Amino acid sequence: MKMVNIMRSSWDRIRHAILFEVIGLLLLIPIGHAVLGVDTGTFGSLSVIVAVTAAIWAYLFNLGFDQVMLRLTGSTRKNTAVRVLHAALFEGGMLAMFLPLTAWYLSMSLWAALMTDIGISGFYFVYAFAYNWIYDQVFPIAHARICEAGR
């Protein structure tokens, strides 16, 4: 049986991004309030701004990452090492985008914002790894279903 590589559809990528951000916000806002002592409304509004931007970033980043994987390896299937690289690159991009916004919005120094963003990135690093692994199990890519059916 010939294996044909199929990437995720646009609908699947949008569902992935929306679920990721909603679940992430439900987890992060209470944690941020408890750890930083920042008002839930203030931290929540910053989190929503970041989440909307992150959803767009996630769509574009994941599409690009999968295209590079497909070109380099012939597949979009990710092992543990690739998942760690994926999460690290994604969160590194997020950190670069949101450090100035965090400092300004929460009225803190760049150093404090960096420490805050590193903490949030740490949360999302673990969350992204777990979420994407679970998402791939619940919503497998079409070629993975075809391959497994042929075994």
Q: What are the pLDDT digits (tens) for 140-149?
A: 886 655 555 5
Q: What pLDDT band is residue 121 in, cutting at 50, 70 and 90?
A: confident
Give domain status of residue 41, yes or no. Answer: yes
What pTM does this model have?
A: 0.66
Task: Please give the Cα distance from 132 to 87 (Å, whole number).
Answer: 9
Give domain status of residue 151, yes or no. Answer: no
Give domain status of residue 20, yes or no. Answer: yes
Q: What integer best gives the mean pLDDT of the chain?
A: 87
Give domain status of residue 3, yes or no. Answer: no
Domain that holds residue 22: 10-141
Task: Please give the Cα distance from 132 to 138 (Å, whole number).
Answer: 10
74: left (phi over 0), alpha (psi -120 to 50) or beta: left
How much of the chain is in helix, strand and coil states, percent to nearest 5? 80, 0, 20
Q: How many domains does the chain have?
A: 1
Give domain status of residue 1, yes or no. Answer: no
Give domain status of residue 108, yes or no. Answer: yes
Give domain status of residue 5, yes or no. Answer: no
